[in-house]
Amino acid sequence: MKLLFVCFALTSSYLKAGNGGYLFAHMKHEDYGRLYYYISRDAKNWTKLNSNERVVPEYRGHPDIMKGRDGRYYMIGVSEKTQNPILWTSKDLVKWKQEKELSAEPFIHIEGYFTERVWFGAPKLFYDKDSDQYLITWHACKAGATGNEEWKTMRTFYILTKDFEYFTTPERLFDFQNEADREMATIDAIIRKINGSYYAVIKDERWPEDGVPTGKTVRISHSRNLTGPYTDPGQPVTTPYTYYEAPILMPKPDNDGWMIFSEKYPHEYVRFQAGSMDAEKWDCTDLTIPDSRHGAMVRISEKEYKKILSGFKH
């Protein structure tokens, strides 16, 4: 299978003041697992906040930020003291507090699989308004796997909760039927609902060196149901034979299509875009976000934009 991707240049143009913008929460290569902020009007030009220092000094984890039913923002971190998951909340994306320590049991008790407690498989969050419940996804490898086998056996699991107190039994999220993808290793899967369908943006964690041309790329699957079954993933969004992970899905500033930002690890994020989620080809742009690793993005209102900008030095 031959895959051809061409990057193209985009001229810079800022959104007009009054329309809000984007907040990019991420870690840095030299300070892995800690939280940093960039802000932008147009998702092209980024300003480093807090003098490019940690915005929540106590946070440790792989940030993924979601707005819940109560209008607050949520993300999951890991306690350095107990090695248990910590639920963080914020009303304004400026001040964060540790809401509660979560039980590790739902994440680690999966028969035949192992979840590393240091990061808990980079948990991702999604609030489903239709069912009024939160979906948490993460990845785990086959028990006893070591080295590259850890990554080759990674699978995505999920739990559901209404209150972050009681959780469903963990289940595997994807069961692809296409022969080429049946044993596809997956990590960093995020779920979003768009126009009545649930879209899963996934990293194919296999190796291109093993003869898998889609290895280490970002791909998209979809379903009419929150927990699937999800379709076999489509062709790569990101450039083949180049290692990408930790995808972020955002609407374009004028809502005339979609953007997928993905970490071209280990030092920068690259922006891809398309007119619709079902596009056969996503265009690679020349827009990169330097000095950034594994992050999340939030589309913010003008009020939020101003509060965040005034809340941090830059």
DSSP character string of 36-51: EEEEESSSSS-EE-GG
Q: Are 162 and 216 in contact (CB under 8 A)?
A: no
How far apart, in whole angstroms, are the C-alpha atoms of residue 35 and residue 57?
7
Give the pLDDT mean for 98-106.
96
Tokens 């923002």 sit at which residue?
A: 73
**pLDDT one-digit tens code per residue, 62-96:** 999 999 999 999 999 999 999 999 999 999 999 99
Output DSSP code: residue 270.
Answer: E
Locate the domains of the chain by residue range.
19-311
In a 13 Å sphere around the CA of 264, the CA atoms on its Cβ side amount to 19
The CATH superfamily of 19-311 is Glycosyl hydrolase domain; family 43 (2.115.10.20)
Q: The whole model's pTM is what?
A: 0.94
Task: Give per-residue pLDDT as tens, 131-177.
Answer: 999 999 999 999 999 999 999 999 999 999 999 999 999 999 999 99
Q: Amino acid identity, residue 205?
A: E
- 283, 265 Cβ separation under 8 angstroms: no
Parallel, antiparallel or unpaired: strands 283-290 and 7-8 = parallel
Neighbours of 116 (CB within 10 A): 15
